[in-house]
A and B are shown apart, each in its own frame.
Chain A
Amino acid sequence: GQSLEQPSEVTAVEGAIVQINCTYQTSGFYGLSWYQQHDGGAPTFLSYNALDGLEETGRFSSFLSRSDSYGYLLLQELQMKDSASYFCAADNYGQNFVFGPGTRLSVLP
């Protein structure tokens, strides 16, 4: 099976940088995705890591360490619109796809 852990809540101010961590335990692992979900909305894809290292997409970056079963999402230059829930999700060679419990990010003015 697969299980993922994330902090339940993170708070930061506009313009700041925030890191959301994700640890996973899986019987098989292919890659780690990150999704954003605003209240009342659908999840939207942010980033994906299959290999160790950092992937950068605009203000968002994601990191993976397969040896540590650990990844994080880094959000820079925070904006109010970034207030949302963020989920890491692990896929297991296309056999399964499991979301973490989610981290609620609140961005304060």
Chain B
Amino acid sequence: QVTLRESGPALVKPTQTLTLTCTVSGFSLGATGMCVSWIRQPPGKALEWLARIDWDDDKYYSSLRTRLAISKDTSRSQVVLTMTHLDPVDTGTYYCARMQRVYDGSHVRYYFDFWGQGTLVTVSS
């Protein structure tokens, strides 16, 4: 049974750095094709993809790339996201999700098949 669970601080002060951990079970972060992404959602707003790390340690970032760093510890089944220079607009629910990356010989297909329950992060002084 695949599960993902986010953990991290609920309250962060502006300008500080946020560190979130996603602990997974039911699959290996080192298994070919396994990817994990971080996605956030400000209150009442749309989903926003932040970053992705693949089984082979390839990393991809959104336009917030200068503030983001994603890493994984396969032995501990954890994916860590750090975000620097927090601002109140970064307030929202942060999700980690397993991303299926399927290559069929001509196209690569991506979709999120399992999600964590999310963790609410508030940026306020």
**Do they bind each other?**
no
B residues contacting A by CB (< 8 A) are: none
A residues contacting B by CB (< 8 A) are: none
